[in-house]
Structure 1
Protein backbone atom coordinates (compact mmCIF):
# COMPACT_ATOMS: atom_id res chain seq x y z
CA UNK A 1 0.00 0.00 0.00
CA UNK A 2 1.33 3.42 -0.96
CA UNK A 3 1.53 6.04 1.75
CA UNK A 4 0.54 9.68 1.47
CA UNK A 5 3.00 12.32 0.33
CA UNK A 6 2.89 15.73 2.00
CA UNK A 7 3.92 19.01 0.37
CA UNK A 8 3.89 22.52 1.83
CA UNK A 9 0.26 23.00 0.74
CA UNK A 10 -1.13 19.64 -0.31
CA UNK A 11 -1.58 16.04 0.64
CA UNK A 12 -1.13 13.48 -2.12
CA UNK A 13 -2.94 10.22 -1.46
CA UNK A 14 -3.88 7.18 -3.51
CA UNK A 15 -7.40 7.30 -4.96
CA UNK A 16 -10.13 5.15 -3.41
CA UNK A 17 -13.40 3.91 -4.90
CA UNK A 18 -15.23 6.40 -2.67
CA UNK A 19 -13.54 9.17 -4.72
CA UNK A 20 -15.03 8.01 -8.04
CA UNK A 21 -18.01 10.37 -8.05
CA UNK A 22 -15.94 13.48 -7.28
CA UNK A 23 -13.18 12.59 -9.74
CA UNK A 24 -15.78 11.87 -12.44
CA UNK A 25 -17.45 15.26 -11.93
CA UNK A 26 -14.06 16.98 -12.30
CA UNK A 27 -12.88 15.12 -15.41
CA UNK A 28 -16.16 15.75 -17.22
CA UNK A 29 -15.06 19.38 -17.54
CA UNK A 30 -13.78 19.94 -21.12
CA UNK A 31 -10.99 22.10 -19.71
CA UNK A 32 -9.62 18.85 -18.27
CA UNK A 33 -10.54 16.08 -20.72
CA UNK A 34 -9.43 18.11 -23.74
CA UNK A 35 -5.93 18.44 -22.23
CA UNK A 36 -5.42 14.76 -21.30
CA UNK A 37 -5.08 12.05 -23.94
CA UNK A 38 -6.98 9.23 -22.25
CA UNK A 39 -10.06 10.79 -20.62
CA UNK A 40 -13.31 10.43 -22.58
CA UNK A 41 -15.64 13.45 -22.62
CA UNK A 42 -18.51 11.74 -20.78
CA UNK A 43 -16.54 9.51 -18.45
CA UNK A 44 -18.86 7.55 -16.16
CA UNK A 45 -18.48 6.82 -12.46
CA UNK A 46 -18.03 3.16 -13.43
CA UNK A 47 -15.14 4.05 -15.77
CA UNK A 48 -13.54 6.10 -13.02
CA UNK A 49 -13.98 3.19 -10.60
CA UNK A 50 -12.26 0.83 -13.04
CA UNK A 51 -9.43 3.37 -13.41
CA UNK A 52 -9.04 3.53 -9.61
CA UNK A 53 -8.96 -0.27 -9.31
CA UNK A 54 -6.45 -0.37 -12.17
CA UNK A 55 -4.17 2.07 -10.38
CA UNK A 56 -4.29 -0.10 -7.26
CA UNK A 57 -3.28 -3.17 -9.28
CA UNK A 58 -0.62 -1.16 -11.12
CA UNK A 59 0.84 -0.04 -7.80
CA UNK A 60 1.10 -3.67 -6.69
CA UNK A 61 2.93 -4.47 -9.95
CA UNK A 62 5.27 -1.46 -9.64
CA UNK A 63 4.01 0.17 -12.85
CA UNK A 64 1.56 2.78 -11.50
CA UNK A 65 1.87 5.30 -8.69
CA UNK A 66 -1.19 7.57 -8.78
CA UNK A 67 -2.17 10.15 -6.19
CA UNK A 68 -5.03 12.57 -5.76
CA UNK A 69 -3.99 16.12 -4.96
CA UNK A 70 -5.89 17.18 -1.84
CA UNK A 71 -6.21 20.73 -0.54
CA UNK A 72 -8.28 21.35 2.61
CA UNK A 73 -9.81 17.85 2.20
CA UNK A 74 -10.94 18.70 -1.37
CA UNK A 75 -9.73 16.83 -4.46
CA UNK A 76 -8.18 19.38 -6.82
CA UNK A 77 -6.32 17.09 -9.22
CA UNK A 78 -4.26 13.98 -9.82
CA UNK A 79 -0.57 13.30 -10.30
CA UNK A 80 0.91 10.00 -11.28
CA UNK A 81 3.74 7.99 -12.72
CA UNK A 82 2.96 5.13 -15.13
CA UNK A 83 5.11 2.77 -17.12
CA UNK A 84 4.15 -0.20 -19.30
CA UNK A 85 6.74 -2.48 -17.67
CA UNK A 86 9.19 -2.32 -14.77
CA UNK A 87 12.17 -1.96 -17.13
CA UNK A 88 10.70 1.17 -18.77
CA UNK A 89 10.91 4.81 -17.59
CA UNK A 90 7.95 6.28 -15.73
CA UNK A 91 5.75 8.76 -17.56
CA UNK A 92 4.56 11.63 -15.36
CA UNK A 93 0.98 12.72 -15.94
CA UNK A 94 -1.38 15.08 -14.15
CA UNK A 95 -4.44 17.24 -14.33
CA UNK A 96 -5.60 20.05 -12.04
CA UNK A 97 -9.15 21.33 -11.54
CA UNK A 98 -9.63 24.70 -13.29
CA UNK A 99 -10.54 26.29 -9.94
CA UNK A 100 -6.93 25.64 -8.83
CA UNK A 101 -5.14 26.74 -12.03
CA UNK A 102 -2.38 29.33 -11.85
CA UNK A 103 -1.30 28.52 -8.28
CA UNK A 104 1.60 26.14 -8.93
CA UNK A 105 -0.39 23.04 -7.95
CA UNK A 106 0.95 20.76 -10.70
CA UNK A 107 4.53 21.91 -10.17
CA UNK A 108 4.42 21.35 -6.40
CA UNK A 109 2.69 17.99 -6.69
CA UNK A 110 5.02 16.78 -9.46
CA UNK A 111 8.12 17.85 -7.48
CA UNK A 112 6.83 15.83 -4.54
CA UNK A 113 6.08 12.79 -6.71
CA UNK A 114 9.49 12.96 -8.37
CA UNK A 115 11.14 13.25 -4.94
CA UNK A 116 9.16 10.21 -3.79
CA UNK A 117 10.25 8.27 -6.90
CA UNK A 118 13.87 9.34 -6.30
CA UNK A 119 13.63 8.00 -2.76
CA UNK A 120 12.60 4.64 -4.25
CA UNK A 121 15.38 4.71 -6.86
CA UNK A 122 12.83 4.99 -9.69
CA UNK A 123 13.46 8.47 -11.11
CA UNK A 124 16.66 8.01 -13.08
CA UNK A 125 14.82 8.59 -16.37
CA UNK A 126 11.36 10.15 -16.58
CA UNK A 127 9.22 11.06 -19.58
CA UNK A 128 6.12 13.19 -20.04
CA UNK A 129 4.44 15.40 -22.59
CA UNK A 130 1.70 17.87 -23.31
CA UNK A 131 -0.57 18.93 -26.12
CA UNK A 132 0.94 21.84 -28.03
CA UNK A 133 -2.09 24.03 -27.24
CA UNK A 134 -1.46 23.61 -23.49
CA UNK A 135 1.69 25.69 -22.94
CA UNK A 136 1.00 25.97 -19.18
CA UNK A 137 1.71 22.25 -18.88
CA UNK A 138 4.90 22.75 -20.86
CA UNK A 139 6.02 25.41 -18.37
CA UNK A 140 5.38 23.01 -15.47
CA UNK A 141 7.52 20.33 -17.08
CA UNK A 142 10.28 22.81 -17.94
CA UNK A 143 10.45 23.92 -14.28
CA UNK A 144 10.90 20.25 -13.34
CA UNK A 145 13.91 19.83 -15.63
CA UNK A 146 12.23 18.11 -18.57
CA UNK A 147 13.63 18.81 -22.03
CA UNK A 148 11.94 18.66 -25.43
CA UNK A 149 12.63 15.45 -27.38
CA UNK A 150 10.14 15.68 -30.23
CA UNK A 151 6.65 16.52 -31.42
CA UNK A 152 4.10 14.31 -33.13
CA UNK A 153 0.33 13.79 -33.15
CA UNK A 154 -1.32 11.86 -30.29
CA UNK A 155 -4.98 10.81 -30.24
CA UNK A 156 -7.05 12.66 -27.63
CA UNK A 157 -10.19 10.80 -26.51
CA UNK A 158 -11.72 14.03 -25.23
CA UNK A 159 -11.47 15.73 -28.62
CA UNK A 160 -11.84 12.57 -30.72
CA UNK A 161 -8.90 13.51 -32.93
CA UNK A 162 -5.13 13.68 -33.11
CA UNK A 163 -3.46 16.75 -31.58
CA UNK A 164 0.19 17.75 -31.90
CA UNK A 165 1.92 16.57 -28.75
CA UNK A 166 5.28 17.66 -27.33
CA UNK A 167 7.35 14.83 -25.83
CA UNK A 168 9.82 15.60 -23.02
CA UNK A 169 12.39 13.67 -20.98
CA UNK A 170 14.13 14.31 -17.67
CA UNK A 171 17.40 12.65 -16.83
CA UNK A 172 18.28 12.55 -13.16
CA UNK A 173 21.21 14.85 -12.47
CA UNK A 174 24.44 12.96 -11.76
CA UNK A 175 25.38 12.48 -8.10
CA UNK A 176 28.19 14.82 -7.02
Structure 2
Protein backbone atom coordinates (compact mmCIF):
# COMPACT_ATOMS: atom_id res chain seq x y z
CA UNK A 1 0.00 0.00 0.00
CA UNK A 2 1.55 3.28 -1.05
CA UNK A 3 1.29 6.14 1.39
CA UNK A 4 -0.39 9.21 -0.08
CA UNK A 5 -0.99 12.69 1.28
CA UNK A 6 -3.17 13.62 4.24
CA UNK A 7 -4.59 17.10 4.69
CA UNK A 8 -5.49 18.36 8.14
CA UNK A 9 -7.02 21.67 9.12
CA UNK A 10 -3.58 23.33 9.31
CA UNK A 11 -1.06 20.99 7.67
CA UNK A 12 -0.20 18.83 4.71
CA UNK A 13 1.24 15.43 5.61
CA UNK A 14 3.19 13.94 2.73
CA UNK A 15 5.79 11.23 2.27
CA UNK A 16 9.39 12.47 2.31
CA UNK A 17 11.45 12.51 -0.87
CA UNK A 18 15.22 12.57 -1.23
CA UNK A 19 14.92 16.26 -2.13
CA UNK A 20 13.80 16.83 1.50
CA UNK A 21 16.96 15.33 3.02
CA UNK A 22 18.77 18.64 3.56
CA UNK A 23 15.84 20.30 5.35
CA UNK A 24 15.18 17.24 7.52
CA UNK A 25 18.88 17.03 8.39
CA UNK A 26 18.96 20.71 9.31
CA UNK A 27 16.09 20.15 11.74
CA UNK A 28 17.29 16.90 13.34
CA UNK A 29 20.74 18.31 14.07
CA UNK A 30 19.10 20.41 16.79
CA UNK A 31 19.70 18.75 20.18
CA UNK A 32 16.16 19.72 21.19
CA UNK A 33 15.07 17.10 18.65
CA UNK A 34 17.74 14.39 18.68
CA UNK A 35 17.79 14.24 22.48
CA UNK A 36 14.04 13.51 22.54
CA UNK A 37 14.01 10.78 19.86
CA UNK A 38 15.66 7.40 20.43
CA UNK A 39 17.07 6.76 16.97
CA UNK A 40 18.46 10.09 15.74
CA UNK A 41 22.22 10.49 16.24
CA UNK A 42 23.79 13.86 16.96
CA UNK A 43 25.32 15.33 13.81
CA UNK A 44 23.21 13.19 11.48
CA UNK A 45 24.45 13.59 7.90
CA UNK A 46 22.41 14.29 4.79
CA UNK A 47 23.44 10.81 3.59
CA UNK A 48 22.05 9.22 6.77
CA UNK A 49 18.82 11.14 6.28
CA UNK A 50 18.66 9.95 2.68
CA UNK A 51 19.01 6.34 3.84
CA UNK A 52 16.22 6.94 6.38
CA UNK A 53 13.98 8.26 3.60
CA UNK A 54 14.75 5.28 1.33
CA UNK A 55 14.22 2.81 4.20
CA UNK A 56 10.84 4.42 4.89
CA UNK A 57 9.88 4.11 1.23
CA UNK A 58 10.87 0.44 1.22
CA UNK A 59 8.98 -0.13 4.47
CA UNK A 60 5.95 1.49 2.91
CA UNK A 61 6.09 -1.01 0.04
CA UNK A 62 6.31 -3.85 2.59
CA UNK A 63 3.46 -2.49 4.73
CA UNK A 64 5.68 -1.87 7.76
CA UNK A 65 6.17 1.92 7.54
CA UNK A 66 4.10 5.01 6.83
CA UNK A 67 6.21 8.15 7.18
CA UNK A 68 4.94 11.68 6.61
CA UNK A 69 6.53 15.09 6.67
CA UNK A 70 4.45 17.74 8.40
CA UNK A 71 4.33 20.74 6.08
CA UNK A 72 2.99 24.17 7.01
CA UNK A 73 2.75 26.83 4.29
CA UNK A 74 5.36 24.99 2.23
CA UNK A 75 7.84 24.51 5.10
CA UNK A 76 8.72 21.13 6.62
CA UNK A 77 8.24 21.48 10.39
CA UNK A 78 8.39 17.86 11.51
CA UNK A 79 7.55 14.24 10.87
CA UNK A 80 4.94 11.77 12.01
CA UNK A 81 4.91 8.10 11.23
CA UNK A 82 3.93 4.56 12.02
CA UNK A 83 6.41 1.67 12.05
CA UNK A 84 6.09 -2.01 12.86
CA UNK A 85 8.75 -4.71 12.65
CA UNK A 86 6.39 -7.09 10.84
CA UNK A 87 2.89 -6.86 9.40
CA UNK A 88 1.63 -9.06 12.25
CA UNK A 89 2.77 -6.50 14.88
CA UNK A 90 1.03 -3.30 15.99
CA UNK A 91 2.24 0.00 14.59
CA UNK A 92 4.38 2.24 16.78
CA UNK A 93 3.49 5.91 16.39
CA UNK A 94 6.35 8.41 16.46
CA UNK A 95 6.86 12.07 15.71
CA UNK A 96 9.14 15.04 16.17
CA UNK A 97 8.39 18.71 15.68
CA UNK A 98 10.77 21.60 14.97
CA UNK A 99 11.20 23.64 18.16
CA UNK A 100 9.87 26.84 16.57
CA UNK A 101 6.53 25.02 16.09
CA UNK A 102 6.23 23.61 19.64
CA UNK A 103 3.23 24.47 21.77
CA UNK A 104 0.77 24.88 18.88
CA UNK A 105 -0.78 21.41 18.79
CA UNK A 106 1.19 20.31 15.72
CA UNK A 107 2.05 16.84 17.04
CA UNK A 108 -1.50 16.24 18.25
CA UNK A 109 -3.09 17.29 14.96
CA UNK A 110 -0.62 15.35 12.82
CA UNK A 111 -0.72 12.16 14.92
CA UNK A 112 -4.53 12.31 15.12
CA UNK A 113 -4.66 12.52 11.31
CA UNK A 114 -2.23 9.61 10.97
CA UNK A 115 -4.25 7.45 13.36
CA UNK A 116 -7.44 8.29 11.45
CA UNK A 117 -5.69 7.37 8.20
CA UNK A 118 -4.53 4.04 9.69
CA UNK A 119 -8.01 3.40 11.08
CA UNK A 120 -9.58 3.92 7.64
CA UNK A 121 -7.29 1.12 6.43
CA UNK A 122 -8.08 -1.21 9.33
CA UNK A 123 -4.58 -0.80 10.78
CA UNK A 124 -5.24 1.10 14.01
CA UNK A 125 -6.65 -1.66 16.24
CA UNK A 126 -3.77 -1.58 18.70
CA UNK A 127 -1.07 1.08 18.54
CA UNK A 128 1.98 1.59 20.72
CA UNK A 129 4.14 4.61 21.39
CA UNK A 130 6.08 6.21 24.18
CA UNK A 131 8.22 9.09 25.30
CA UNK A 132 11.27 9.77 27.40
CA UNK A 133 10.25 10.49 30.99
CA UNK A 134 11.89 13.92 30.81
CA UNK A 135 9.64 14.88 27.88
CA UNK A 136 6.18 15.03 29.50
CA UNK A 137 4.81 17.24 26.70
CA UNK A 138 5.02 14.25 24.36
CA UNK A 139 3.19 12.17 26.95
CA UNK A 140 0.37 14.72 27.00
CA UNK A 141 0.08 14.48 23.21
CA UNK A 142 -0.26 10.70 23.44
CA UNK A 143 -2.81 10.91 26.27
CA UNK A 144 -4.96 13.25 24.13
CA UNK A 145 -4.90 10.54 21.46
CA UNK A 146 -6.10 7.83 23.85
CA UNK A 147 -2.79 6.20 24.74
CA UNK A 148 -2.33 4.84 28.26
CA UNK A 149 0.85 4.04 30.16
CA UNK A 150 1.73 0.34 30.19
CA UNK A 151 5.18 0.36 31.78
CA UNK A 152 8.41 2.28 32.21
CA UNK A 153 11.97 1.24 31.53
CA UNK A 154 15.25 2.33 29.99
CA UNK A 155 15.64 2.94 26.26
CA UNK A 156 18.95 3.80 24.61
CA UNK A 157 18.95 7.29 23.08
CA UNK A 158 21.49 7.75 20.26
CA UNK A 159 21.35 11.51 20.69
CA UNK A 160 22.40 11.33 24.33
CA UNK A 161 24.60 8.25 24.06
CA UNK A 162 23.01 6.49 27.03
CA UNK A 163 19.87 4.83 28.34
CA UNK A 164 17.06 7.17 29.36
CA UNK A 165 13.95 6.39 31.42
CA UNK A 166 11.13 5.78 28.95
CA UNK A 167 7.36 5.63 29.34
CA UNK A 168 5.74 2.96 27.14
CA UNK A 169 2.14 3.56 26.08
CA UNK A 170 -0.60 1.68 24.24
CA UNK A 171 -3.87 2.58 22.54
CA UNK A 172 -6.43 -0.11 21.86
CA UNK A 173 -9.07 0.31 19.14
CA UNK A 174 -11.09 3.34 20.12
CA UNK A 175 -12.59 6.22 18.23
CA UNK A 176 -10.64 9.45 18.05
CA UNK A 177 -12.17 12.45 19.75
TM-score (norm 2): 0.97
Residue number in structure 1 paired with 2:56: 55
* Runs of 4+ residues deviating >4 angstroms: none
Could you give the per-residue CA deviations for residues 120-150 of structure 1, whole angstroms, max 9, x where no partner exists?
A: 0000000000000000000000000000000
Query: Is 1:33 aligned with 2:34?
Result: yes
Q: Structure 2: 5+ residue runs without aligned partners?
A: none
Could you give the per-residue CA deviations for residues 46-84 of structure 1, whole angstroms, max 9, x where no partner exists?
A: 000000000000000000000000000000000000000
Residue number in structure 2 paired with 1:149: 150
Residue number in structure 2 paired with 1:16: 17
Could you give the per-residue CA deviations for residues 87-141 of structure 1, whole angstroms, max 9, x where no partner exists?
A: 0000000000000000000000000000000000000000000000000000000
Aligned residues: 174
Q: Structure 1: 5+ residue runs without aligned partners?
A: none
How far did 1:173 drift?
A: 2.2
Residue number in structure 2 paired with 1:91: 92
Residue number in structure 2 paired with 1:170: 171
Aligned mates of 2:166, 2:4 — CA distance in 1: 32
Aligned mates of 2:25, 2:83 — CA distance in 1: 20
Residue number in structure 1 paired with 2:113: 112
Residue number in structure 2 paired with 1:138: 139
Q: Secondary structure of the equivalent of 1:130?
A: strand
Aligned mates of 1:37, 1:111 — CA distance in 2: 21
Residue number in structure 2 paired with 1:76: 77
